[in-house]
Chains A and B, each alone.
Chain A
Amino acid sequence: MSGVYGVPPSGEVWHGLTLVHFFLVGLAGGSAFLAALSRHRGEGTARNLLLVAALFVALDLAVLWLESPARFRFTHLWLFATFRPASAISWGAWGLAATLVLALALAYKPQNRFLLPLLFLSSLVVLAYPGMLLSENPGRPLWDGFVTGLMPLTGLALAVAFWRVFLPGSLARLATPVFFTAGLAALLYPWELLHGDAGERAAWAGLWQEAGLLYLAGTLALVLAGLFPKRPGLSGGLALLGSALVRSLIVLFGQ
């Protein structure tokens, strides 16, 4: 290619605050899932977990509103009661709204039998939505089907990591398998791309050239996080850093 007259319109559409959203939505979905798990087990910390999960959802919605160039139309998704099953953002928007309401309701009405399964479901939707959103774009080879699994795993790792750092006594048994699985998935991702078609190989080459070492650092941080179960601060910090790096790089370089 030797040149372009005019500006090809699309460049990086998702950047800055959008990356914060991809971080927060993982934290929100993962925290809501862990809170539901905690309530299911009847643990004393469940109420606090539910409230913090609701806070993450609220923060995420605030970030989405802040980064939107159409702030005054942003709530149209709910005001018009629009739900389009083929649109991942539809699932994400309704999943976040439902998770916020359910987490708050369950924090104050712990005996309600219907709320808990609904919260499990809505938290899974929130965890899954970023991967669905990325993989529904046929022209973006970096975002292949693998990210539908990788994004929920790193989202869950984010939430577990957060709780390991700020509530060191919690989730000790869950941390190592979650961090290892997320790290392994992050390691397999380039391997899977390199065995894909020419577009996928070129997409990985692009990421590798620009930020390969950062991706590798994120992956290693996730794997290493699983090796220090008795040092929750270190383990959680590594997993937070690793998951955030892996997710951000995939979003940023896939566009």
Chain B
Amino acid sequence: MARYAMAIDLGACVGCAACAVACVTENQVPPGVTRLWIRELEEEGPTHPQVEFRPEQCYHCENPPCVPVCPTGATYRRADGLVLVEAKKCIACGACVVACPYDARYLHPEGYADKCTLCAHRLEEGRVPACVETCPTGARVFGDLEDESGPLKAALAAARRVDVRKPHLGTEPRLFYLNAPLSRGLGGEKA
């Protein structure tokens, strides 16, 4: 069984937001909400300011806090690692939105919790998520953690450093940030 995950090379991300636009187009995300956004962080470096463009989205955690709090089972984690929402079961109570420590969820205007699906519909067709396909610098790498010879494992192995957000929470995000430009790791996070 595949174990899907993604890596984003922050050393290569230029913050163009093509991924965010591709996501909106592919998934028909309504105005006013976003499945994917870019955080720009600037910190003083030893000689000059350092800038980090960090795309953020649902991290499809290994231990997703959004799943157990759902009262109807609408939010669930698939065997391949994707954390998804079954809209017709969702009562829009907002528990999962609040439970997500990464603020990756929102309430869709049609009355259900929504977020990044890693383009599950594209994966079924053998394609990669829209954000990966559209990234002009190749900063995004999607793959299977079980595939030792795949592009994801290669990117992780070649990285100068690998970070995840808020590791102290024990959620084990399945989106890895590679080569964070700030010397102490991800900007705005605990070192």
12 cross-chain CB contacts under 8 A: A2-B41, A3-B39, A8-B34, A8-B103, A10-B104, A73-B88, A84-B70, A84-B72, A89-B71, A89-B93, A138-B101, A139-B99
Please state if B38 and A80 are interface contacts (CB–CB under 8 Å): no
Given A8-B103, A138-B65, A1:B39 Cβ within 8 A: yes
Q: Which residues in A have their C-beta under 8 angstroms from that of B88?
A: 73
Please state if A76 and B72 are interface contacts (CB–CB under 8 Å): yes
Measured between alpha carbons, how far is A139 from B100 in the docked complex, in Å? 7
Q: Which residues in B have their C-beta under 8 angstroms from that of A8?
A: 34, 37, 39, 56, 103
Please state if A6 and B38 are interface contacts (CB–CB under 8 Å): yes
Given A14-B94, A70-B92, A138-B169, A5:B69 Cβ within 8 A: no
A88 (CB) vs chain B CBs: closest residue = B69
Q: Which residues in B have their C-beta under 8 angstroms from that of A1?
A: 39-42, 187-188
Please state if B20 and A77 are interface contacts (CB–CB under 8 Å): no
Given A4-B38, A8-B56, A13:B98 Cβ within 8 A: yes
User: Is A90 an interface position by the 8 A CB rule?
Assistant: yes
Identify which of B33, B97, B101 contacts A7 (C-beta below 8 A). Answer: B33
Measured between alpha carbons, how far is A93 from B91 in the docked complex, in Å? 12
Q: How far is the CB of A3 from chain B (nearest CB, A)?
A: 4
Q: Which residues in A have their C-beta under 8 angstroms from that of B107?
A: 13, 69
On B, residues with C-beta under 8 Å from A are: 15, 17, 20, 32-42, 51, 56, 65, 68-73, 88-95, 97-107, 109, 111-112, 115, 166, 169-171, 187-188
Given A70-B90, A139-B99, A9:B73 Cβ within 8 A: no
Tell me the interface secondary structure of chain B in the complex. loop
Tally of contacts, chain A with chain B, CB under 8 A: 140
Which interface class (under 10, 10 to 19, 20 to 34, 35 or more) fits A? Answer: 35 or more
Q: How far is the CB of B36 from chain A (nearest CB, A)?
A: 7
Identify which of A14, A71, A87, A255 contacts B69 (C-beta below 8 A). Answer: A87
Q: Which residues in B have their C-beta under 8 angstroms from that of A87?
A: 68-71, 95
Measured between alpha carbons, how far is A137 from B96 in the docked complex, in Å? 9
Please state if A139 and B91 are interface contacts (CB–CB under 8 Å): no
On A, residues with C-beta under 8 Å from B are: 1-10, 13-14, 18, 68-74, 76-77, 80, 82, 84, 86-90, 93, 133, 136-140, 255
Measured between alpha carbons, how far is A4 from B34 in the docked complex, in Å? 12
Q: How far is the CB of B94 from chain A (nearest CB, A)?
A: 4
With contacts A8-B39, A69-B107 known, what are 13 further pairs, Cβ within 8 A? Answer: A1-B188, A5-B39, A9-B105, A14-B94, A18-B94, A74-B91, A76-B72, A80-B72, A86-B69, A88-B95, A133-B95, A137-B69, A139-B166
Q: Which residues in B have their C-beta under 8 angstroms from that of A9?
A: 33-35, 37, 103-106, 115
A7 (CB) vs chain B CBs: closest residue = B34
B21 (CB) vs chain A CBs: closest residue = A6
The 4 A-B residue pairs whose C-beta atoms are closest, nearest first, are: A139-B101, A6-B37, A9-B106, A10-B103
Given A1-B187, A7-B34, A82-B71, A140:B98 Cβ within 8 A: yes
Measured between alpha carbons, how far is A184 from B169 in the docked complex, in Å? 30
Q: How far is the CB of B40 from chain A (nearest CB, A)?
A: 4
